[in-house]
Structure 1
Amino acid sequence: MKYSSATNYGLHTMAYLYLAPKGESVGVDVLAKVQDLSPTYLSKILTKLVKAGLIESTPGAKGGYRIVKRNGDISFLQVIQAIEGSNQLFHCSLDHDHPHNEGCLIEQAMLRAEEQMVRQLEQTFISDIAEQMKASQKAVDLN
């Protein structure tokens, strides 16, 4: 299984925004530099996060982005779905429309595995990871 690089950058961006001082916006150039990305590319990811209601954009010279909710309730799943969408990962390509068949057994096994992964991602929060980053001194200084 593989997520796009946009998910990687989106999750990291959310952690960096969580670590920013409360109420302060962080500019796209700063966020892009921290991750060694093009600001244009990161802007596309940030737009998806804004549309999902996970972050907000502040216009102007001192504008930028900040987390909407800082109380620990933004899950990895919310970020992933904002970027990748919420389609299931596996679809059987074979026709299993036999009268005695209850669907594809392979697809059913894959969906059970995906459900477990979704539960784990629902229970993994940006705030927890950001706090671990901060505690381990691996957080990047955004200033």
Structure 2
Amino acid sequence: MRMSKGVEWAIHTLLNLDMIGGGPVGSGQLAEAHGLPAPYLNKQLQQLARADLLASTPGPRGGFRLTRPLEDITLLDVVQAIEGDTQLFHCAEIRCCGKIGELSPPPTGACAVKVAMHRADEAWRQALAAQSLADIRLELDRTPTIRSVVRSALN
């Protein structure tokens, strides 16, 4: 399984907005702060806004701002906003294909591989849902200068 860079960018952006008081900050400023391509980051910001994790304020002093505190945003919220809510594993029922499929009786239950992979997918989602961005912010707060660095980069 591989997630796009957009997930990492989205998490950092949400954390950065929190560190400066929630926003609004323009997408160009947010992109420049980490040296990211502005058009691509803007795509991630729009996806976060569609998921109601960010709100967009138009105008010269506008930009993106958090819609709720980091305590109310989980890693699963961000992953689903950027990657979607699709299952990671899609069973193609290869147990029914080829010579093995021809020689085997028709299956009567769910594919054991599919069941195991869906169980693992659910455990992964539960682990993401159990971690809020506030948990990550607590880790970041152990770096004494991080908030002042982010504020300087975004002002």
TM-score by length of 2: 0.82
**SS of structure 2 residue aligned to 1:135:** coil
Q: Which residue of 1 aligns with 2:57?
A: 58
For 1:8-47, what per-residue CA distance to the aligned partner results, in whole angstroms no more than 9, with x for missing partners?
A: 211111111121224x311212210122111111111100
Change (3 A) 1:105 1:42: same
* Unpaired stretches in structure 1, ≥5 consecutive residues: none
2: CA distance, partners of 1:45 / 1:111: 27
Q: Which residue of 1 aligns with 2:13?
A: 13
Contact preservation (8 Å) 1:18, 1:126: no
Q: Which residue of 2 aligns with 1:102?
A: 109
Does residue 119 of structure 2 align to residue 120 of structure 1? no
Contact preservation (8 Å) 2:70, 2:132: no
2: CA distance, partners of 1:18 / 1:132: 14
Structure number having the greater helix percentage:
2
Q: Which residue of 2 aligns with 1:130?
A: 137
Equivalent residue pairs, number: 142
CA drift of 1:101 comes to 3.4
Does residue 90 of structure 2 align to residue 91 of structure 1? yes
Contact preservation (8 Å) 1:58, 1:65: yes
**SS of structure 1 residue aligned to 2:141:** helix
TM-score by length of 1: 0.89
Contact preservation (8 Å) 2:70, 2:133: no
Contact preservation (8 Å) 2:74, 2:129: yes
**SS of structure 1 residue aligned to 2:108:** coil
Contact preservation (8 Å) 2:89, 2:114: yes
Q: Which has the larger radius of gyration?
A: 2
2: CA distance, partners of 1:137 / 1:88: 39
Identity %: 36
For 1:80-127, what per-residue CA distance to the aligned partner results, in whole angstroms no more than 9, with x for missing partners?
A: 101111010001122556644312111111111111111110011112
1: CA distance, partners of 2:30 / 2:132: 20
* Unpaired stretches in structure 2, ≥5 consecutive residues: 97-104
Q: Partner letter of residue 92 of structure 1?
A: C
2: CA distance, partners of 1:42 / 1:91: 29
